[in-house]
């Protein structure tokens, strides 16, 4: 960040928090029993700069379900293991214009699941993770990659994992349709279980800000200084996030904010400004598309007051 000082960014984060903390509206994800019961008043924003400085306000140490934000992490792993072209050929990189759990994501794209950032493509991405056929080895790869991106370990929320495994009928249907179309590249049940488990990992807003900053910093974690993935993947990851990070509202979101971002039904939204920062806002109540109401408002406020936009140089 050349023209912005640390104090300006810090003030903007605090202002966004103050401006949005009393916003009402939305409701917790109701289709996953564990999430329905999380305290709806939790709210936090954390921003991480490439030099590792963190600006955090509110409930940024609270551990919540990562849910679909995990899809970005495992997409990175699959990209690292197989390369950008293989992910395009086997999954896709397209917008769907559909809800995250839509089965039509598969049918739309000539039998490809469209993108690793919706359920169908994320389950396919879990199936691609190496070592093939080895559930424990694959889980270790997913967990270790997540840990490297976050800069510290996530913690499995057992109750969330069980609650989601018992009720994920839509994802089971998606998995069998993927199998029918030859778009599951390992055991289908194992792939679905890995996906459900990764969604049930507990993380904090601060951890997610660090992983977003790792993407912004071309794959080098600004806290641990470890290289997590090749710099050439950042534009691919940011392109995926831009195209479909908000599902059927992705275009509206980008148009309104200019911030490539990815949401999860646990209430998190991560945003990546390449070279500048990674940010996470978290608040459980969601809009109709499953995107956190308060987190969206906070990030919109932040981008406006910093006068930043990924599509603009001014």
In this structure, the number of other CB atoms found within 10 A of the CB of residue 296 comes to 25
Of 20, 105, 199, 238, which one interacts with ligand GLN (CB under 6 A)?
A: 199
100 binds ligand GLN (CB under 6 A): yes
Nearest residue (CB) to ligand GLN, 119 versus 296: 119
Buried b (16+ CB within 10 A) or exposed e, 56-86: bbbbbebebbbbbbbbbbbbbbbbbebebee
67 binds ligand GLN (CB under 6 A): yes
Of 60, 114, 115, 171, which one interacts with ligand GLN (CB under 6 A)?
A: 171
Query: C-alpha distances in angstroms, 17 versus 1, 47, 232?
Result: 21, 12, 34
Whether residue 265 contacts residue 291, with contact meaning beta carbons closer than 8 Å, is answered with: no
- d(C-alpha 120, C-alpha 30), whole Å: 21
Nearest residue (CB) to ligand GLN, 121 versus 219: 121
265 binds ligand GLN (CB under 6 A): yes
Q: How far is the CB of 101 from ligand GLN (least distance, A)?
A: 5
248 binds ligand GLN (CB under 6 A): no
What letter would DSSP give residue 59? S
Site for ligand GLN in 18-47 (CB under 6 A): none
Nearest residue (CB) to ligand GLN, 271 versus 290: 290
Of 68, 102, 127, 145, which one interacts with ligand GLN (CB under 6 A)?
A: 68
208 binds ligand GLN (CB under 6 A): no
Of 177, 215, 290, 292, which one interacts with ligand GLN (CB under 6 A)?
A: 290
Residue 47 DSSP SS3? strand
- Nearest residue to 208 (alpha-carbon basis) of 17, 72, 92: 72
Query: C-alpha distances in angstroms, 77 versus 27, 68, 121, 167?
Result: 32, 15, 14, 27
- Answer yes or no: is 171 a known binding residue: yes
Nearest residue (CB) to ligand GLN, 121 versus 264: 264
Q: What are phi and psi of 309, to 5 degrees?
A: -160, 130
- Answer yes or no: is 90 a known binding residue: no
Of 44, 113, 260, 264, which one interacts with ligand GLN (CB under 6 A)?
A: 264
- Answer yes or no: is 265 a known binding residue: yes
- d(C-alpha 114, C-alpha 250), whole Å: 14
267 binds ligand GLN (CB under 6 A): no
Torsion of CA 129, 254, 207, 267, to 10 degrees: -90
Nearest residue (CB) to ligand GLN, 200 versus 214: 200
Where on the chain is the footprint of ligand GLN (CB under 6 A)? Answer: 67-68, 100-101, 119, 164, 171, 199, 264-265, 290
Per the annotation, where are the binding residues? 68, 119, 164, 171, 195, 247, 265
């Amino acid at each position: 960040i050349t023209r912005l000082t640390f104090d300006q960014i810090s003030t903007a984060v605090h202002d966004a928090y103050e401006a949005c903390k009393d916003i009402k509206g939305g409701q917790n994800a109701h289709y996953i029993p564990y999430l329905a019961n999380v305290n709806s008043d939790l709210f936090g924003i954390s921003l991480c700069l490439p030099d590792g400085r963190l600006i955090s306000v509110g409930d940024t140490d609270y551990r919540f379900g990562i849910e679909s934000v995990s899809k970005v992490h495992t997409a990175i792993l699959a990209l690292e293991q197989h390369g950008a072209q293989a992910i395009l050929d086997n999954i896709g990189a397209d917008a769907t214009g559909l809800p995250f759990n839509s089965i039509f994501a598969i049918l739309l794209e000539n039998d490809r699941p469209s993108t690793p950032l919706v359920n169908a493509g994320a389950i396919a991405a879990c199936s691609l993770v190496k070592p093939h056929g080895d559930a424990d080895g694959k889980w270790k790869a997913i967990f270790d990659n997540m840990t490297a991106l976050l800069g510290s370990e996530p913690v499995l929320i057992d109750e969330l994992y069980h609650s989601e495994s018992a009720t994920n009928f839509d994802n089971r249907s998606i998995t069998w349709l993927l199998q029918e179309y030859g778009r599951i590249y390992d055991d289908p049940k194992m792939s679905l279980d890995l996906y459900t488990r990764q969604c049930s990992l507990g993380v904090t807003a601060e951890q997610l800000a660090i992983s977003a900053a790792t993407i912004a910093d071309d794959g080098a974690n600004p806290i641990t200084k470890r290289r997590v993935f090749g710099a050439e993947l950042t534009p691919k990851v940011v392109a995926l996030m831009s195209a479909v990070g908000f599902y059927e509202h992705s275009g509206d979101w980008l148009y309104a904010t200019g911030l490539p971002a990815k949401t999860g039904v646990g209430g998190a939204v991560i945003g990546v400004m390449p070279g500048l920062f990674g940010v996470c806002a978290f608040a459980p109540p969601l809009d109709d598309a499953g995107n956190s109401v308060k987190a969206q408002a906070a990030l919109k406020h932040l981008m406006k007051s910093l006068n930043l936009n990924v599509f603009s140089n001014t």
